[in-house]
Amino acid sequence: MAVAQGGSGKIEIFEDFVGAEWIIAETAASGKIGSLRLIGDGIAETDSGAVSVESGGLSGVIRLTTTNEDKHGVYIATPLMFDAALMGTLVLEARIRVEAVANREIFVGFSDVNADDLSLEDDLVHGGTATITLTASDICGFLVSSELSDSTDWHTVYNGGTTTGETTSTSLDVGDVIAADVWQILRVEVAPNGTAFFYIDGVAVGGSDSAKSSGVSGAMATGVDVAAIIGVESKTTTALTLDVDYVKIMANRDWTTTD
């Protein structure tokens, strides 16, 4: 039986990080930042968490800080609440910056994995030398990895759709560099048919020059529940950070029912 439809047919989540913060001293498996979950395998440690940025934090900025352990990270995420086929086009947009580029992996996108103890390398995706390891069965977003040969370039990663996930990093390198103390706006869109579109600072990226505006066909599965995820993982034994100015997530509401 169909559910009665109303005026709230659009899901729009906009977090500007002007409210509560999950301070470094907290020691729980997961938390909450505004309307988003705070997760990661480092959250249970006292040197990891999220704090509001007071200096240089105009417009509201949250700083995600990893624990000082290799392969431990911190992420903000939604529940597994989006299905591209039922709710597309899915949109995730975030404005981010780093204090330094080295020794970290960063992911901005969608995935079907969002556990409280999430590990970017072990659970989602990892870059090493010239290879992308696609651990998550369903994933679509941006990756930068200090362990890739192109260690400061953004890469568009995808897996789970009708198009086989690319694992050669040079084929996914968009040639746009992440730099210290420079804000960038990353935007991922996934259409109902699984086609993915990638934008950096409003410019279409990914694929050949002729294909950028038409997206990557069949990049993500259309019948899998996914979450929006943004986060950073340390690749050394030093606590590292990622600043997020805002997060915008949009989708259509699923009015179907399993009755």
Eight-state DSSP code of residue 73 = E
Instruction: Tell me, yes or no, whether 258 lies in a domain.
Output: no
Confidence of residue 53 (pLDDT cuts 50, 70, 90): confident
Instruction: Tell me, yes or no, whether 233 lies in a domain.
Output: yes
Instruction: Tell me, yes or no, whether 222 lies in a domain.
Output: yes
Q: Is the pLDDT of residue 117 over 50?
A: yes
Instruction: Tell me, yes or no, whether 247 lies in a domain.
Output: yes
Higher pLDDT, 3 or 191: 191
Instruction: Tell me, yes or no, whether 227 lies in a domain.
Output: yes
Confidence of residue 6 (pLDDT cuts 50, 70, 90): low
Structurally, the chain folds into a number of domains equal to 1
For every residue of 195-233, DSSP letters joined together read -EEEEETTEEESS-TTTGGG-BTT-S-SSS-BEEEEEEE
Eight-state DSSP code of residue 168 = B
CA distance 190 to 213: 13
For residue 206, the domain's CATH number is: 2.60.120.560
What is the model's pLDDT at position 32? 85
Q: Which domain holds residue 86?
A: 10-252
* Mean pLDDT, range 69-98, rounded to an integer: 94
* Mean pLDDT, range 236-240, rounded to an integer: 89
For every residue of 39-69, DSSP letters joined together read E-TTTTSTT-EEEE--SS-TT--EEEE--SS
Q: Is the pLDDT of residue 62 over 50?
A: yes
Higher pLDDT, 56 or 214: 214
Render pLDDT for 174-214 as a digit per residue (tens, 0 to 9). Answer: 989 999 999 999 999 999 999 999 999 999 997 555 456 77
Instruction: Tell me, yes or no, whether 100 lies in a domain.
Output: yes
* Mean pLDDT, range 55-66, rounded to an integer: 84
Instruction: Tell me, yes or no, whether 259 lies in a domain.
Output: no
Instruction: Tell me, yes or no, whether 257 lies in a domain.
Output: no
Q: Which amino acid is at 198?
A: F
